[in-house]
Structure 1
Amino acid sequence: MIRTPALLATALLAAAAATAQTTDLVAYQGTNAIRLTEAACTDDAVLKQLSPELRPYFRSAWAQVEGKRYKACWGTLPTAVIVVYEDGDQGLVPLTDLRVPIDI
């Protein structure tokens, strides 16, 4: 888990040129899931945690963890995405864990 704002800023700025996904993506771990969307991050609780120069690089997300839904935002890194949650938690999801969702 990345907790150092300077490290986060450096990593995201270095990866700013990474290509964006063109569809929602999901990562599953058991019954828990994270869904990444292309919509801009607009959650105030998350945006307050990000420096102003990083905010344009973050997109909207949500997570379902142990039955509870959390708002989140995500940004790309070279081999992972960083997810920042409304409650202040942060985490990395390897790109290899992301899948196109099958919605019924």
Structure 2
Amino acid sequence: MPKVWIYLLALLCALGLAASVAVFMLRPFEEEAPESSYTLRDWHGRLALFESGEAEQPVEVYDVYTHLLPENDVLSLQAGIPLENREQLQRLLEDFGL
């Protein structure tokens, strides 16, 4: 009778391990990044907001001159900072002094 319990415990452990491995393998390794709606970037030396599909002209241009910002911020703005929503935009604008 005690051997039966040991075998049953071993079987449960094996099933638990198999289930854990299956869940790990079926789950995506990296979640897809949400598509950004806006991009904040440098435009003619000023801070500007662009919508996703329209990279030619900004939606808004702000009175923040990028050459006055720290170098890391300038580099980020030159590459473009993707934003998902207006709340993120508002937080960044506050960081930049607006």
Fold shared by both chains (TM-score > 0.5): no
In proportion to residue count, which structure has more strand?
Answer: 1
Between structure 1 and structure 2, the one with the greater Rg is 2
In proportion to residue count, which structure has more helix?
Answer: 2
Greater RCO structure (CA 8 Å; 6+ sep): 1
